[in-house]
Structure 1
Amino acid sequence: MKLLLLAGTGEARRIAEALPAIAGVEAVASLAGGTRVPATLGVPVRSGGFGGRQAFADYLGAEGIGAVLDATHPFAIDITRRTAEVCADLGLPYAQVLRRGWTPGPGDRWTFVDREEQVADLVPDGSTVFLGTGTKGLERFANLTGREVICRRIETPDAPFPFPGGRFLQGRPPFSVAEEVALFTKLGVDWLVVKNSGGAASRSKLDAARDLGLPVALLNRPAQPAATRFETEAEALEWVRRLAA
């Protein structure tokens, strides 16, 4: 069986490293190209988009893909919805790896919002806002006028900030809690904005906000398509084993 792994997360990397040990499985990983130097995976990798819905369906057929495992980011909803729909149309087995979202604990000052534009209703004028959301959808924070907006990104910016009052800060994860505390203190951050991505790898910024008593605006995840879904890598790998048996 030839498996297409939609990658780009830590879960996907660990799954890719385990796939060669599963008998009867030939795997290829796909990276959307969000970073210029993707991490090395344990299986062949293709990089870049598929060119739309029909082009993706054509690729699945031409490559003889027998199943698709979607381990993309919880907010990569366009990719997830399209993949689930195309696989359903073609009758291909499809499953999603979706890590559990974060929930607040003692000392956390979180407010959940559905849309980026709602953050402006929470943050007072004159505040310094740290966006730990990445650059996708950054323009939807343009109504944060009167605040200093700092957006951290992995790669060197190749275009100016999309609206006045904002700037990029380059940094490559992982970041420790101590590093985040030091950074937020240095920048004078008043509010942190984060997508509810879940997982341990990027939790440190939330822990730092709790230590500093900072309020956090947490973006809710988009609605996911109806599909077979796993929270853990082990469950996803067992699904692959069953298909290959």
Structure 2
Amino acid sequence: MHVLILGGTAEARQLAAELDRRPGLRVTTSLAGRVAQPRLPAGEVRIGGFGGAEGLAAWLYEHGADALVDATHPFATIISANAATAARSTGIPLIALRRAGWEATPGDRWHPAADLADAASLLPALGRRIFLTTGRLGLAAFAELDQLHFLVRSVEPPDPPLPRDSEILLDRGPYTVEGERDLLLARTVDVLVTKDSGGPATSAKLTAARQLGLPVVVVRRPPAPQGVLVAQDVSEVLRHLSPGAADTCP
């Protein structure tokens, strides 16, 4: 059985390691190639795009894939849509591995936003020193906020345009609550902005913000493509990929 994982997340690496240890299974992980030095998973690895849904479907056929797992970031909407289209056209089972989103707890001062533009519209009323942790893409939504200072954290240098008053912090998680708290205090941050990525790797900033009483603008995650089977953890994916379970995948 050959499983193609669309990867780039910690869950994708965990799934690849589990599958690579199982006899009779071949696992290939595809990485987008946007990170210069990615953490490579177990098994075979390919790097780069497919050329849209048609290119992905062609790859699945040519390489004899029996199952497709979309374990990309919850906000990677284009590749997720392409995966759904390719799965429908080829008849190959698709599972979307989506870790659960974060949930507010007592003491949190969360402000939900529909997208990055909506998040940007909320900031002037909340503070002047912004800790922006939404990744390196889409920062043009904040570029016109000239009266605010932005500390922008990203694994890779962010794509322009950026806000005029920006400081770039290149760093990669996981992070600790103590470290995040120290950073927020040292940079006198007023507001944290994040996407609802879920998972523990970057959740420490939420705890630190709660401890300091800071407002947090949380960009809601987009839904998975319609009709796609969604699993919230690796063990659930493994159950669906076990012998005799293929019929449970749409």
The normalised TM-score by structure 2 is 0.91
Contact 1:67 1:94 in 2 (8 A): yes
Which residue number in structure 2 is paired with residue 55 of structure 1?
55
Please tell me the residue identity of whatever aligns with 2:191.
W
User: What are the Cα deviations for residues 31-68 of structure 1, in whole angstroms up to 9, with x where unaligned?
Assistant: 11131111131111111111222222221111111110
**Correspondence 1:142 to 2:129:** no
Partner of 1:44: 44
Which whole-Å CA distance do the structure 1 matches of 2:69 and 2:121 have between them?
A: 38
- Which residue is 1:182 aligned to? 182
Q: Which stretch shows the higher mean deviation, 234-243 or 132-141?
A: 234-243
Residue deviations 1:99-123, cap 9 Å, x none?
1111100110001010211223322
Q: Deviations over 1:187-237 (max 9, x none)?
A: 111000000011111100111100111000000011221211111110101
Distance 1:98 1:57, change over 3 A: same
Aligned-pair CA distance for 1:169: 1.1
Match status 1:110 vs 2:113? no
How does the TM-score come out when normalised to structure 1?
0.93
Q: Is 2:84 aligned against 1:84?
A: yes
Unaligned stretches of 5+ residues in structure 1: none
CA contact (8 A) 1:190 1:214 kept: yes
Letter aligned with residue 151 of structure 1: V
Which residues of 2 match residues 69-218 of structure 1 at below 5 A? 69-124=69-124, 127-155=128-156, 157=157, 162-218=162-218
CA, structure 1 residues 152+158, in 2 after alignment: closer, same or farther (shift >3 Å)?
closer
8 Å contact 1:114–1:220 — kept in the other structure? yes
2:230 is aligned with 1:229: yes
CA contact (8 A) 1:22 1:241 kept: no
**Rounded Cα–Cα distance in structure 2 between residues aligned with 1:240 and 1:77:** 23
CA contact (8 A) 1:195 1:219 kept: yes
Structure 1 window deviating more from structure 2 (185-194 vs 140-149): it is: 140-149
Q: Residue in 2 aligned with 1:7?
A: 7
Q: Distance in 2 between matches of 1:239 and 1:191?
A: 41
- Mapped to 2, the partners of 1:244 and 1:124 lie a distance apart of 51
For structure 2, the residue ranges without an aligned partner over 5 or more in a row are none
Whole-Å separation in 2 of the counterparts to 1:120 and 1:7: 29
Q: CA deviation at 1:160?
A: 6.0
CA RMSD of aligned residues (A): 1.8
Check the 8 A contact 2:97/2:230 in 1, yes or no: yes
By how many angstroms is 1:150 displaced?
Answer: 1.7
Q: How many residues align?
A: 244
Q: Kindly tell me: are residues 158 and 118 of structure 1, through their superposed partners in 2, closer, same or farther at Cα, counting changes over 3 Å?
A: closer
Q: Is the 8 A contact 1:111 1:218 kept in 2?
A: yes
- Asked if the contact 2:28–2:46 (Cα under 8 Å) also holds between the matched residues in 1, the reply is yes
SS at match of 1:79: helix
Whether the 8 Å contact between 1:5 and 1:29 is mirrored in structure 2 is yes
